[in-house]
Structures are given as C-alpha cells and as structure tokens.
C-alpha cells in the first residue's frame, strides 16, 4: 500500500516548516506539486522554494494542474464535484509516477485540519494510507504578527469563514471571531460598532501587510489595500480577527 503524507507548510515561509515536515519530505518517493494557473504561479514557486531549502536528497516531483471549480449557485455541489476531479488527478498522477508501493508527499498550506479540504479529497483514494504532518496556521501567524492573544480572558473564540459571516452575521455568544476564506469584505455585513479588527495579508511572507484598528475607521482602508495587493500579485490570501467590546 502507498502512504500519502499531507504536510502542513504554514503560510509559505520556509522557516515555518517543522523538523517533522522536513523529515517526511526527505523520506518521500514522490512529491505532488499543484499548479493553479499563471495568475497563481507564485503559489507553486513558494512550494518549489521550500523543496529547494528542505530536500537533502533527490526526490521526484510530479507537478499537476488543479482542475478549476465550477462557478455555480449550488456551492456544496460544486465543491464536491471539484474534489472528485482533484482526487482523480491525484490517482492518475500517482499511478503514472509511482506504480508500486511507496511514500507520496503533498504540501498543504497552513495545517490540513483547519478549513482545508485536502483530507476530504484524500479520503476518496481508498488505496492510500493517509498521515498528517501538522503545520503552523495562518491564524497563529496573524496573532504573532500583531502580537496579540487569540482570546480574551476566559472567553471563547469562534473560527468561521467569510461566506458564513456574510450570510449569518456575528455568531452569538462569542467575543473574538477569526475569519478565514473571505473573498473580500465580509466584515462589512456586520454592525461595526465596538468592533476592532486585526487584518493581515500574505502573513509570514515577504509581502506581509497588516492593518489594525476600530472597524469603522479602517474598513475602507482594508478593502482598498486588499484590492491593490490582489491586482499586484494576481492572488491574495488574507485572514483577520474581529473582537467585540464587552
């Protein structure tokens, strides 16, 4: 049986890779490297940089193109079909590059357990034994960059998505709200009164950009900065923490 190691690589900073991740990469017989088109070529370049920094022996690398996700109103259906397509690409690539038993490695942004679907895709490949090498999450890097704790004293924290915040508003019973996978500006859907935001784009990377302040005062600045960064780089990864006054 083949083994698939899903290796968390943090936010793309090679210095954030754990020793365990480095060992797993060097023990691999094949490394899968996804490509997401020319407009996101930087993402593949970061993975290649990490491999150049970490590998101490030659390991075959199989690059593959990630199938596009259909833009349809049935979001969950579109995602399910997309995951099926990716799983098929993995199956075909592994079969072509590693026909026998062996150890396959795949680099995953952040940590495979936190708002990432790599584990769900891997579950579609029944002939693979999956193991996870945890990575530093963008949430950890965000709070470190702003030098703040994630929670207030003895208070809960909720981690959600931009889509959920926009559709359902502020979750009841929480003071601190971490928002991931926001296509942009979901915080404009809530009442900004008494809310502070700590926002970061490309956290942990050379392009890191941070903005912090009362949401009513910095909301427009974040939206403008985000649009400029996306236009400049062709892609953007951002995350933010919202905290409502008691």
CA distances from 79 to 86, 124, 176, 200 (A): 10, 14, 28, 26
Domains identified in the chain, total number: 2
pLDDT value for 233: 87
Looking at the structure, tell me whether residues 90 and 179 fall in a common domain.
no
- If asked whether residues 129 and 203 sit together in one domain, one would say no
The DSSP 8-state label assigned to residue 238 in this structure reads: E
Place of tokens 């926009």: 166
What local confidence, expressed as pLDDT, does residue 124 receive?
93
Residues of the domain holding 235? 139-244
Residues 127 and 154 in one domain: no
Give the pLDDT score at 46: 86
- Do 129 and 35 lie in one domain? The reply is yes
Same domain, 36 and 80: yes
What does the CA dihedral 226, 222, 225, 186 come to, rounded to 10 degrees?
20
Q: Which H/E stretch holds residue 63?
A: strand 61-65
pLDDT tens digits in sequence order for the chain, 246 residues long: 789 999 999 888 888 899 999 999 999 999 999 988 776 777 788 899 999 999 999 999 999 998 888 776 777 888 899 999 999 999 999 999 998 889 999 999 889 999 899 999 999 998 889 999 999 999 999 999 999 999 999 889 999 999 999 999 999 989 999 999 999 999 999 999 999 999 999 999 989 999 999 999 999 999 999 999 999 988 899 999 999 986
CATH number for the domain spanning 232: value is: 3.30.950.10
Looking at the fold, whether 127 and 167 belong to one and the same domain comes out as no
Give residue 39's pLDDT: 65
**Across the strands, what pairs with 64?**
34
For the segment 30-59, what is each residue's pLDDT rounded down to a tens digit? 999 998 877 677 778 889 999 999 999 999
* 184 φ, ψ (degrees, to nearest 5): 130, 115
**Which of 137, 148, 178, 142 has its CA nearest to residue 18?**
137
Among 136, 166, 188, give the residue marking a domain's end: 136
Is residue 124 packed enough to be buried (19+ CB in 10 Å), middle (13-18) or exposed (0-12)? Answer: middle
Q: What is the DSSP string of 96-147?
A: HH--SS-EEEEEESB-TTSS--HHHHHTT-TTEEEEEE----HHHHHHHHHT
- Is residue 202 domain-shared with residue 154, that is, in the same domain? yes
CATH of the domain at 7: 3.40.1010.10
Enumerate residues 6+ apart whose C-beta is below 8 A from 47: 9, 33, 34, 107
Looking at the structure, tell me whether residues 108 and 15 fall in a common domain: yes
């Amino acid at each position: 049986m083949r083994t698939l190691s899903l290796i968390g690589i943090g936010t793309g900073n090679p210095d954030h890779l754990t020793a365990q991740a480095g060992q797993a990469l060097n023990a691999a017989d094949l490394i899968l490297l996804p490509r997401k088109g020319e407009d996101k070529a930087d993402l593949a370049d970061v993975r290649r940089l990490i491999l150049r920094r970490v590998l101490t022996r030659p390991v075959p690398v199989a690059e593959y193109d990630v199938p596009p996700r259909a833009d349809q109103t049935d979001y969950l259906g579109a995602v399910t079909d997309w995951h099926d397509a990716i799983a098929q690409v993995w199956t075909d690539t592994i079969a072509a590059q590693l026909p026998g038993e062996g150890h396959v490695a795949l680099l995953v942004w952040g940590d495979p357990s936190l708002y990432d679907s790599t584990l769900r895709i891997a579950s579609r490949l029944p002939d693979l034994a999956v193991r996870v090498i945890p990575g530093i999450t963008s949430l950890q890097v965000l709070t470190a960059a702003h030098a703040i704790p994630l929670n207030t004293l003895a208070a809960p924290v909720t981690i959600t998505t931009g889509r959920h915040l926009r559709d359902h508003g502020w979750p009841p019973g929480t003071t601190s709200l971490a928002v991931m996978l926001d296509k942009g500006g979901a915080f404009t859907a809530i009442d900004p009164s008494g809310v502070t935001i700590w926002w970061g784009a490309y956290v942990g990377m050379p392009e890191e950009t941070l903005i912090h302040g009362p949401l009513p005062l910095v909301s427009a600045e974040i939206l403008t900065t985000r649009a400029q960064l996306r236009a400049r780089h062709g892609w953007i990864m951002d995350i933010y923490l919202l905290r409502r006054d008691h």
